[in-house]
């Protein structure tokens, strides 16, 4: 699903395999390395990506899938824990064939080409999540 190299203590360079799902691969990586808090940055290309928009007026999620080849011009996110499992919060900006960009909260994406990431594990730290009724968001819990 991926190849990785620890370049410094707790800092990994990661290459996702072609055609994998970003969330599945990153979740597996966090489980393998037992990362309980951390940060993610990266770039690459996808053939499909699903974004999620939270409408604050209704607290309802609106999901939209874009099935087209796009460059990941930026992927940024954080790693925490919820219910004892890795919890990824990822935002993406992706450029289309006409070079315009779309972006948002990333629900999932399928790699088509490459995906090169840096993951930093905040070694020894645990950051949790709790569901917040007012915002409908799983907020950080320290």
List of residues contacting Fe ion (CB under 5 A): 105
Find the shortest distance in angstroms from Cβ 11 to Fe ion: 24
Could you tell me where the beta strands, DSSP code E, fall in 1-142?
A: 2-8, 11-16, 38-55, 60-66, 70-82, 85-95, 101-121, 128-132, 137-141
* Shortest distance in whole angstroms from residue 76 CB to Fe ion: 10
Q: Indicate the residue among 12 and 87 with the shorter CB distance to Fe ion.
A: 87
Angle at 132 between CA 28 and CA 77, to 5 degrees: 35
Write down the least CB distance from residue 106 to Fe ion, Å: 8
For residue 96 the two structure tokens come to 């289309």
Q: What is the spatial distance between Cα 112 and Cα 49, in angstroms, rounded to a whole number?
A: 11
Cβ nearer to Fe ion, comparing 105 with 110:
105
107 burial (CB, 10 Å; 0-12 / 13-18 / 19+) is middle
Number of Cβ within 10 Å of residue 115's Cβ equals 25
Tokens of 10: 């707790």
Least separation in angstroms between CB 64 and Fe ion: 14
Query: Is the Cβ of residue 52 or residue 96 nearer to Fe ion in the bound state?
Result: 52
Shortest spacing between CB 24 and Fe ion, in angstroms: 18
Query: Toward Fe ion, which CB reaches closer, 82 or 105?
Result: 105
Q: Which of 18/140 has CB closer to Fe ion?
A: 140
């Amino acid at each position: 699903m991926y190849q990785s190299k620890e370049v410094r203590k707790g800092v990994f360079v990661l290459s996702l395999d072609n055609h994998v799902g970003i969330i599945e691969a990153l979740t597996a990586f966090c489980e393998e390395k037992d990362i309980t808090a951390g940060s993610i940055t990266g770039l690459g290309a996808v053939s499909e990506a699903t974004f999620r928009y939270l409408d604050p007026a209704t607290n309802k999620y609106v999901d939209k899938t874009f099935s087209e080849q796009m460059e990941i011009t930026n992927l940024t996110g954080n790693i925490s824990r919820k219910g004892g499992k890795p919890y990824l919060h990822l935002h993406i900006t992706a450029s289309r064939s006409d070079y315009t960009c779309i972006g948002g909260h990333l629900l999932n994406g399928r790699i088509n080409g490459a995906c090169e990431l840096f993951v930093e594990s905040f070694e020894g730290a645990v950051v949790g999540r709790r569901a917040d009724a007012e915002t409908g968001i799983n907020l950080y819990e320290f």
